[in-house]
Structure 1
Amino acid sequence: MLFFFLSLYALAHIPNQSYIFLRIYETEGIEGRFEINTREINKVFGTNFKDGVQLEDIEPYMEDIKAYLVKNTSFSSELGHHKIVLHDVDIFAFNLGDFVQVFFHLENTKKLPQNLSVYYNAVFEKDDTHRGYLVTEYNWRDGVINEEANITLDFSPDKLTDTMDLTKSSIWNGFYAMIKQGVWHIWIGLDHILFLLALILPSVVRRRNNDIFGWEPVKNFRSAFIYIVKVVTFFTIAHTITLTLASLQIINLPSRLVESIIAFSIGLAAFHNIKPIFKLKDWNIAFIFGLFHGFGFASVLGDLGLTNEFLTLSLLGFNIGVEIGQLFIIALIFPVLYIIRKLKIYPKFLVYMSVLLIIISLYWFVERVFDTDFVADEYIKRQLYQFAVWLGVK
């Protein structure tokens, strides 16, 4: 029931709205894309596109669509007119209709203007209820990192021109945004969370004998706390090293391999709780597999569309965010484990939870090795995302 009601909060593109998404780079200029629903294209060109349209269906009308968008859109600033240079075309399939995406960049923006004036007059002549929106999807200095809901300008039949101010920005906005990205991605990185859980389950107990249920509670808080500090510290050092190396393009590993090892690391750490398979301490295990988790974080930075601009601050901010996020998670879990450690059921809880982690690990491992998505996994990820949006985390 909870997931059903949360689905009502899902963000969506609205059919009778069209969009301009801009990505503003400090040294590379401004690039972006148009997104217009096929239903709106039907209004303008008299076509009859249905839901589920393919790129080849659009192909005969491609040049007309491009010409129409360029004719009805313009960008200018104190630097002069900025010509729209069109690139590839794609289809964004959505449950409220398919959107045609036309990618472009603006000439004469290597030096960013202070104010960018935008003229937009698409579809209004066919539908006066239509609305256009300009979305700043990426602007590091403004603290905007891959945000598709950050509406900057709006257009209507009575408002065809609007201006965006590019002077209200600071490197601290970008730094703070990267901290938030780090927190966000550790919170939605369920595999990273479950790996940490596998490592901290035994933090409040110590092995008494070789029996899988042969655990006894630690006698004091200090012992358990030092264990946690070591695990988190070694995990942090490891993923910081590989995150930096990967972001600087010094070492790159295939994403599929990295994600498969991350999934496998959860099960291996959990199995070690049941039957020790390493002579290493748990914090050494955290370090070894933390190296691969760092490569996983690096792929996230790649997905954010970061370039070499402010890369040092981006890495620092993202790392700080990851640490804040994982400390928050541990702060929620660890006290509970410490309180229940003396219960006779805790050894069984530790083992059964480890078994569950092994099952989840194998499930993800098979998915990632064979590059497939099972229905259950996709559903859970979608609902977790919507739950985070509803909470206001994203």
Structure 2
Amino acid sequence: MKKLFLLILLVLSITTTVQLPSTYAHSNNSEGYSMIEVTDHNINYELKVDLAELGHAMNQELDNQQLFNTKIVQNYINSRIELYADSIKLEGTIERSGVETISNKQFAVMNLTYELGDKPQKLVLNYNMFLDDSDPSHANYATVTFDGEQQEEVLTFESRELEIGEMNFVQNVLQFLLLGLKHIFTGYDHILFVISLLFGIKTIRNTFTLVTAFTIAHSITLALATLDIVHLPSSFVEAAIALSIIYVALINIFNPDSKHQPWLAFAFGLVHGFGFAGILSEMRLDASHLATSLISFNIGIEIGQLVIVAIVFPILLWLKTLTFKPSKWVIPGASVAILAFGFLWFIERAF
């Protein structure tokens, strides 16, 4: 019994003399400081947080050298600090970093830059450093300088968001209209699907019914997904979009004289609508402009679709008027190429 007592004393004496690494030197009530300045072309963000707490939250010991050389810290910050300029989410890049002593504590100092296309009218900061990871009592003292206006806020577990500025109606409409146009013209899978549908047209009326059915369908699911009424995994949606391309391409190859039905455009339009909503899910839509943003984005997509139809449809009609009927091999040949892209996208997205 005496030996056991002596052993316990020995263990206690060792644990009281050995210091834990700073990685695990968790300190409640840690503090942070944010100095944010919005300029015409970028946002400069000086972030100061307790160095030991940062290491504890990331489960690794950090020093000055690591702050300079690793991108792990940058990725961690971008995953915990969400910065939106006119609803568009930005990614920060650490330009400089170091260690500073404040009130006898070491603070990690990171100077981040967020690139801007144009100077925004509204800025939203969503701050989650440490709050869900290691220290719910963490507080960050934020100062934002934006368009001659300065706003200060204490960001805590209960109050994590800071908003400054206001986006006007006209800018909101133009922004989401152009975003919809950009999305359709850079969404090559959507473009190939629309072209595949056009391969099966017979008349102008048939074109109108197909485009209308596709538009109504994707408008429905775009709204449902954006409003978070219906949610599907993005991997499933993207793979299903690839399958829609494969299906229509196979019809065009093995039955090039078939007439695509509106129900086909409507059914696959429902799937493509979830794909269109993907970009909006990454944004922070202003509640006061939600309907306007959604409608403007959808109109942008429709304008893009009409441009594609206006280019492809006359070419197809012209090919069908030629005496040697090149459409007999052009449509199946192009459909084989589209089929190959569809298969590649499906394999990439499904596996």
TM-score normalised per structure 1: 0.52
Question: How far off is 1:325 after superposition?
Answer: 0.9
Who is 1:34 aligned against?
A: 45
Q: Deviations over 1:104-124 (max 9, x none)?
A: 987699xx99842499xxxxx
Question: How far off is 1:281 after superposition?
Answer: 4.2
- The partner residue of 2:73 within 41, 55, 65 is 55
Question: How far off is 1:197 after superposition?
Answer: 0.6
8 A contact 1:85–1:105 mirrored in 2 = no
In 2, Cα distance between equivalents of 1:244 and 1:58: 32
Question: How far off is 1:256 after superposition?
Answer: 0.7
- Identify unmatched segments of 5+ residues in structure 2: 1-34, 48-62, 78-96, 112-124, 131-138, 153-162
8 A contact 1:199–1:282 mirrored in 2 = no
Q: Supply the AA of the counterpart residue of 2:170.
A: W
8 A contact 2:177–2:299 mirrored in 1 = yes
Aligned to 1:306, what secondary structure does the other structure show?
A: coil
Question: How far off is 1:337 after superposition?
Answer: 1.6
1:273 paired to 2:252? yes
In 2, Cα distance between equivalents of 1:186 and 1:105: 40
Identity %: 33
Who is 2:170 aligned against?
A: 172
Change (3 A) 1:352 1:171: same
Who is 1:88 aligned against?
A: 129
Question: How far off is 1:182 after superposition?
Answer: 0.7
Who is 1:322 aligned against?
A: 301
Q: Deviations over 1:159-208 (max 9, x none)?
A: xxxxx9x47x521210121111111101111111000011001325xxxx
- The partner residue of 1:116 within 141, 149, 152 is 149
Change (3 A) 1:327 1:339: same
Question: How far off is 1:316 after superposition?
Answer: 0.6
- The partner residue of 1:356 within 330, 337, 347 is 337
Change (3 A) 1:55 1:334: same
Task: Write the mapping of 1:199-210 to structure 2, written as runs, cut at 5 A.
Answer: 199-204=197-202
Q: Supply the AA of the counterpart residue of 1:340.
A: L
Q: Deviations over 1:100-159 (max 9, x none)?
A: xxxx987699xx99842499xxxxxxxxxxxxxxxxxxx9xxxxxxxxxxxxxxxxxxxx
Who is 1:216 aligned against?
A: none
Aligned to 1:249, what secondary structure does the other structure show?
A: coil
Provide the aligned C-alpha RMSD in A: 4.2
Who is 2:21 aligned against?
A: none
Who is 1:255 aligned against?
A: 234
Aligned to 2:287, what secondary structure does the other structure show?
A: coil
Who is 1:283 aligned against?
A: 262
Question: How far off is 1:308 after superposition?
Answer: 3.2
Change (3 A) 1:188 1:67: same
8 A contact 1:266–1:358 mirrored in 2 = yes
Question: How far off is 1:51 after superposition?
Answer: 6.1
Q: Supply the AA of the counterpart residue of 2:313.
A: F
1:245 paired to 2:278? no
Change (3 A) 1:349 1:87: same
Q: Deviations over 1:338-363 (max 9, x none)?
A: 11223322111111111111111010
Who is 2:184 aligned against?
A: 186
Question: How far off is 1:275 after superposition?
Answer: 2.9
8 A contact 2:143–2:151 mirrored in 1 = no
In 2, Cα distance between equivalents of 1:256 and 1:310: 29
Q: Deviations over 1:249-280 (max 9, x none)?
A: 21111111111000110010111112359x99
Q: Deviations over 1:184-234 (max 9, x none)?
A: 101111111000011001325xxxxxxxxxxxxxxxxxxx22121111100
Change (3 A) 1:291 1:180: same
Who is 2:276 aligned against?
A: 297
- The partner residue of 1:367 within 332, 348, 351 is 348
Task: Write the mapping of 1:88-167 to structure 2, written as runs, cut at 5 A.
Answer: 88=129, 115-117=148-150, 166=165
Who is 2:50 aligned against?
A: none
Change (3 A) 1:364 1:57: closer
In 2, Cα distance between equivalents of 1:63 and 1:286: 61
In 2, Cα distance between equivalents of 1:272 and 1:345: 18
Aligned to 2:321, what secondary structure does the other structure show?
A: coil
In 2, Cα distance between equivalents of 1:282 and 1:266: 15
Question: How far off is 1:311 after superposition?
Answer: 1.2
In 1, Cα distance between equivalents of 2:292 and 2:341: 35
Larger CA deviation: 242-251 vs 299-308: 299-308
- The partner residue of 2:326 within 345, 358, 362 is 345
Aligned to 2:129, what secondary structure does the other structure show?
A: strand
Q: Supply the AA of the counterpart residue of 2:173.
A: F
User: Runs in 1 of length 4+ with deviation above 3 angstroms?
Assistant: 19-22, 32-36, 45-70, 84-89, 104-109, 112-115
